[in-house]
Amino acid sequence: MGNIFQIAIDGAIFNRCLDCFLGKAAYIKNLQENVEALKDELAKLIAARNDVMVRVVNAERQQMMTRLNEVQLWLSRVDAVTAEADELIRDGSQEIEKLCLGGYCSKNCMSSYKFGKQVAKRLRDVRTLMGERDFKVVAQRAPESVADERPIEPAVGMQSQLEPVWRCLVEEPVGIVGLYGMGGVGKTTLLTHLNNKFLGQRDFHFDFLIWVVVSKDLQSEKIQEIIGKKVGLFNDSWMKKNLAERAVDIYNVLKEKKFVLLLDDVWQRVDFATVGVPIPPRDKSASKVVFTTRSTEVCGWMGAHKKFEVECLSANDAWELFRQNVGEETLNGHPKILELAERVAKECGRLPLALIVTGRAMACKKTPAEWRYASQVLQTSASEFPGLEDNVLRVLKFSYDSLPDDTTRSCLLYCCLFPEDYRIYKENLIDCWIGEGFLKVTGKYEVQDKGRTILGNIVHACLLEEEGDDVVKMHDVIRDMTLWIARDTETTEDTEKKKENYLVYAGAGLTKAPNVREWENARRLSLMETQIRNLSAVPKCLHLLTLFLIFNEELEMITSEFFKSMPCLKVLNLSGARRMSSLPLGISVLVSVQHLDLSGTAIQELPKELNALENLKCLNLEQTHFLITIPRQLISSFSSLVVLRMFGVGDWSPPRKRNDSDLFCGGDLLVEALRGLKHLEVLSLTLNNSQDLQCVLNSEKLRSCTQALYLHSFKRLERLDVSALAGLEHLNRLWIHECEELEELKMARQPFVFQSLEKIQIYGCHRLKNLTFLLFAPNLRSIEVSSCFAMEEIISEAKFADVPEVMPIIKPFAQLYSLRLGGLTVLKSIYKRPLPFPRLRDLTVNSCNELRKLPFDSNSAKECKIVIRGHRKWWEQLQWEDQDTQNAFLPCFRSIN
């Protein structure tokens, strides 16, 4: 029995050994066949990979598109397998030569077996990858960054209100939180602190942090647009979808994600279903919605799981905030002021906005009498503001009353004609003030300077907020105050009391004009940013002084009779009516008009009937890209013109045919007409030949008033003596576009400086090699250079020898805020040596692949608070001054792929 059992075991072992031997032998026997198959299959795989890469590259050329992770993983696996298979194929002939006995055996069985096994494995890998190659989609729209840190100043007393809200969000089962309180109490400040606190939390992971300013004019489309940009849905085709379709897309993205949605300034219910936002459940680990509102009722409408009242500061914090804004120098300037200041601070009701505004307004008050008067005014003015957040408006009106004069107060009230959160360009606002007659043209001073001074007074009183040098904004609470004053304050004219009667529909989303009977008593009417297509009714507005039809992008037609009953109209603003290609001839009846703004319209011709507007002081034609005809005598008929803006006129139109009645044709006719305007103080101009430019430079009058110059499509111009432009003492904006033969911007040997130049834009000058003259613009804030295919350097040191006299005093780009370079295919240098760039905030480099070094070193990093945008491949190839410099600027980069 024992022997029989032993034979059975030996037989099983023998069979397994035989199978193992035959399997190993198969790797040797099939080696040559497998190597040939690997060659064929690998070729197919490489072709498939190339096809996929073509699709990926084409997709990624579209803005904000990025390849799918599964596609990238497949491509990476293909590359790895290809490298290994190539090596096996190269070594294959050597291993095949070792075979013998018709390929059934090998001179080195172990070596051939191992090699054959590797070939068989790679062959399986190649065939597996081939089976996975059919991708329906290879790329998707890349989402914006998960979150953005928002700028904010340290807020006194905010931490005590922040912590309970934060604990509620991260520790309690709460999905929707409402923050409510009066205007100016600090709701937006608190929300901003929450935004930034989310960014600093490693334990609280989220996919999207989205900030939306809702405001009174709630528009679901605008909310969708902001969310769509953040989650990577936004593009032209997506925006063509209707509200419901976009809501479905947003919902399908967010339902699988963890998001934080911060809604600021909510005045009515935001319907989450309409927008497409999934309603966060009561779950501490789920998504969150936090919103601010002035009404506790809105918290109910929004379905808040928990609400917090944002309260005024404690007495100690309020006094500290007031002290900071007044300043110790003023408070300690007289023994009695400190006690009086405590009384004034108490009248501010511990409201942060009131404390800041009043504190700054009192910062320059050095005598006890001024402080006693302030205290008395704050104590006695409450009854003037019934029904509109009395505690806020009472304090804010004190700042309004404290403005230097009636003219400044009228200029402030005028700002309420613009919508909430509107970026008001200073120069356009001042033009309106001139047209209204707030700023008198006396010849004793430049009226624009007077306007800038008034704006400065208003900004210093904290009733307007500056955004850079060009733009102001009005806080919504202050706008409420100015609207209330403008609608209800009575002014005395000819012993008869008349109300100001501001009528403001700005940003109201109207699709049809309001009933014209509502306009009859209006003195200032704003129909800004509506969807009105035509104005066919004939209103009777006998007292109307200002009519704003700004950025009505759907407006195509105004009936010729529309203006016939507006005998007092002084300001007519049609800017941004992009569909309006012609003006109604009835506009000629507006003989009282002093300011006419047609900028950004599609008009092609100025009718000769406009010569009836003989009182015109401001005419704005900027960015009228299609305007090709201006009657020869028209400009000269406006003998009272103070401001004429013609920057970007006709630059999108085909070359003009000569027409003897056209001011644009006939050499220097335009320049001659301009020289005849005796009162002209402000001029922006588009020129398309060197002869007209020389006429401007030869005219002392035009040199003194030219503030913006656009040199467009100069022919047969190889060299331009740019130092001659320094004679334009007020030139702050210079564009040079599509001067395709321009090779050099020459610099004269004598010293020259562009003291006023702030913005330069160079585009389509294909032969231009450098912009060295910019060294002599010490106050330059913005540089844009694009599509200059011969531009090798921005600043060329070889050109320094032309102007040696000024080199010792040059501090290049000391005021530069923004530098944008695009399509400079041979650009190698911005500046040869590192510079500090103390104010630079924005550097964008696009399609400048030869630019391998930036003018930065570790000292630049000390002063620089910059965002650098560019393609990642370009960024990774940059050469740095040293490792410290690279480390310092590494966090500044933002990819624009």
pLDDT band of 856, cuts 50, 70, 90: very high
pLDDT for the residue 64: 60
| C-alpha–C-alpha distance, residues 850 and 874, integer Å | 9
pLDDT, average across residues 459-483:
82
pLDDT digits (tens, 9 = 90+) for 223-239: 999 999 888 888 888 88
Residues 796 and 774: their CA atoms lie apart, in Å, by 10
Q: How confident is the model at residue 181 (pLDDT cuts 50, 70, 90)?
A: confident
Position with higher pLDDT, 444 vs 542: 542
Tell me the C-alpha distance between 186 and 309, whole Å. Answer: 11
Lowest mean pLDDT among 343-357, 439-453, 665-679, 877-891: 665-679
Burial environment of residue 483 by CB neighbours within 10 A (0 to 12, 13 to 18, 19 or more): middle
Instruction: State mean pLDDT over 649-675.
Output: 69
Which of 137-146, 427-436, 505-514 has the lowest average pLDDT?
A: 137-146
Mean pLDDT across the stretch 54-77? 81
Q: Is pLDDT larger for residue 864 or for residue 596? A: 596
Is there a contact between 677 and 638 (Cβ–Cβ < 8 Å)?
yes
Amino acid symbol at 748: A
CA distance 814 to 2: 102
What pLDDT does residue 479 have? 82
Residue 155 CB-half CA count within 13 A: 23
Tell me the two tokens of residue 317.
């914090």
CB distance 633 to 655 below 8 Å: no
Residue with tokens 């656009």: 710
- Candidates 533, 469, 503, 491; CA nearest to 759 is 469
Considering the domain delimited by 2-139, tell me its CATH architecture. Up-down Bundle (1.20)
pLDDT of the residue at 144: 55
User: Residue 276: how many CB atoms within 10 A of its CB?
Assistant: 26
For residue 750, name the pLDDT band (cuts at 50, 70, 90).
low
How many residues would you count in the chain? 897
pLDDT in tens, 539-590: 999 999 999 999 998 898 999 899 999 999 999 999 999 999 999 989 999 9
**Dihedral (C-alpha) 252, 254, 256, 258: value to the nearest 10 degrees?**
180
Is residue 495 very low, low, confident or very high in pLDDT (cuts 50, 70, 90)? Answer: very low
Higher-scoring residue by pLDDT: 835, 63: 835
**How many Cβ atoms from other residues are within 10 Å of residue 752's Cβ?**
19
What pLDDT is stored for residue 63 in this prediction? 59
Give the least confident one: 132-146, 630-644, 673-687, 721-735.
132-146
Identity of the amino acid at 812: P
State the pairing for strand pair 105-106/99-100: antiparallel
Comparing 864 with 558, which gets the higher pLDDT?
558
Higher per-residue pLDDT: 669 or 772: 772
Contact in structure between 536 and 559 (CB atoms under 8 Å): yes
Which residues have a Cβ under 8 Å from the Cβ of 450 and sit 6 or more positions away?
Answer: 439
Q: Is the pLDDT at 383 greater than 60, yes or no?
A: no
Token look-up 């695009």 returns: 822
DSSP 544: -
**Which class is domain 403-496?**
mainly alpha
- Among residues 690, 700, 707, 785, which one has the least CA distance to residue 746? 690
Burial 25-60 (b: 16+ CB within 10 A, else e): bebbbbbbebbebbeebbeebeebbeebeeebeebb
Question: Residue 227's pLDDT is what?
Answer: 92
Torsion of CA 606, 608, 610, 614, to 10 degrees: 130
Rounded Cα gap, residues 75 and 62, in angstroms: 20
What is the rounded distance in angstroms from the CA atom of residue 884 to the CA atom of residue 887?
5
pLDDT for the residue 498: 45
Instruction: Please list, residue by residue across 509-543, b when 16 or more beta carbons sit within 10 angstroms of its beta carbon and e when fewer do.
Output: eeeebbeeeebbebbbbbbbbbebeebeeebebeb
Helix, strand or coil, per DSSP, at residue 423? coil
Residue whose token pair is 């935004």: 195
* pLDDT of 176 higher than 80: yes
Nearest to 642 by CA among 413, 411, 337, 432: 432
**Cα–Cα dist 45/55, whole Å:** 15
Quick one: pLDDT at residue 3? 44
Percent of the chain whose predicted confidence (pLDDT) is above 70: 85
DSSP annotation of 384: G
- Asked if the 159-309 domain carries CATH number 3.60.15.10, the reply is no
318-338 pLDDT, tens digit per residue, is: 999 999 999 999 999 899 999
Nearest to 685 by CA among 648, 655, 656, 737: 648
Average pLDDT over the chain reads 84
Mean pLDDT across the stretch 54-82? 83
What is the rounded distance in angstroms from the CA atom of residue 173 to the CA atom of residue 176? 10
Q: What is the pLDDT of residues 7-64, one digit of tens each?
A: 344 444 334 433 444 456 666 667 777 778 878 888 888 898 898 888 888 887 775 6
As separate numbers, helices (DSSP H) first and strands (DSSP E) second, the chain gives 28, 34
Q: Which of 149-158, 178-187, 745-754 is predicted most confidently?
A: 178-187
Side-chain-side CA neighbours of residue 824 (13 Å): 27
Q: Rounded to 5 degrees, what angle do the CA atoms 330, 333, 339 make?
A: 80
DSSP labels, 617-653: -EEE-TT-TT--B-BTTHHHH-TT-SEEE-TTTTTTS
Report d(CA 619, CA 610) in Å as an integer: 11
In this predicted structure, the answer to whether residue 869 has a pLDDT above a threshold of 80 is yes
DSSP per-residue letters across 44-55: HHHHHHHHHHHH
Confidence of residue 799 (pLDDT cuts 50, 70, 90): low
Q: Cα separation of 513 and 755, whole Å?
A: 47
